[in-house]
Structure 1
Amino acid sequence: MSAHNAVMTGIATYLNRLWRYGLVLSGNRTAAEDLVQATCVRALEKSHQFEPGTRLDRWLFSILHSIWLNERRAERYRRGEGLVDPESALIFDGIKEIETNILARRVLREVQSLPEAQRETVFLVYVEGLTYREAAEILAVPIGTIMSRLAGARAKLAWLAADQSGAETKRER
């Protein structure tokens, strides 16, 4: 299969993941959609650069991140317009316990409050399941920077684990 055909057939598989990453980066639904559209166009234009047999998702994430950085440098997003409320972005299938919903909202709110570099690193490694090396390549930073960002994010979010274990201890009594 040619590189162009691999990109053409594989791109639809990653649209939701690309949109989520665009949303994590921009915090704006419309901007996320625009980022995904620009990523698809650029991927198709540059499909000859894709190496079949390598991970298409990594390549697409790199393109999206590059577009986002370029757009960010060119113009700043209008402040406060179209920002996504992290709580409204939660969608649960089926009935979940109220405590689970509350904890999930708290986790999402705390992750959204992380500095941008930590937030995008947490997303790529913990949500998308990329390796440290893959995240480093997408973000164009050394692997040590990825490790440092994740350590900082874990330290800032450590209260969640302590708070959750305290809640479970109270229920067991």
Structure 2
Amino acid sequence: MSTTFTADELNDVLPALNRFALSLTRNEDAAHDLVQDSVERALMKSEYYEPGTNFRSWMFTLCKRLFLNQVRKQKSRGVNVEISDAPQQKIAADAPQDVILECNEMLDCFDKLPKRDRVVLSLIVIEGMKYEEAAKRLRVPVGTVRSRLSRARSRLKEMTAEWAAYRKEPLGDANSAAQIA
């Protein structure tokens, strides 16, 4: 790979590029990483640089585009935080009682399913296996896995619907509720 710019040109622009990266990232380590990524990109894409044009401007454009790409990635992935730096209330929070109840009801329904249904649901839904992987593990055709999964989901949906209907039943008027208590 032949470069169309010299090492001297690159070395001349590095201090300004470092300041520019620092102004973008507002973090010294991140700025150094950004400059390094920019130099790497410049060397890989050197054939796109046109000799005689403003090399500094070309490097700043590379740096800015890399920075914007990183920002877009961070938006979609979220911010990484060391576990020791994270606030404890953000790591674990008490679940509201209704969520705990629903989870327990779902587990009860899951336990009442036939073993075949529990196994196929565990492999595909919980472990995230593909149909083909589950079929190999269960030593059955892929179509069988799909039909078992469909039936298991239907049964689970029926069972949870019964629980939901039970929870939403009215208790009657206040007098009958008082008599129960």
For Structure 1 versus Structure 2, the TM-score category normalised by the shorter chain is: 0.3 to 0.5
Larger Rg, first or second structure (1 or 2): 2
- TM-score when scaled to structure 1? 0.41
Structure with more relative contact order (C-alpha pairs < 8 Å, separation 6 or more): 1
- TM-score when scaled to structure 2? 0.40
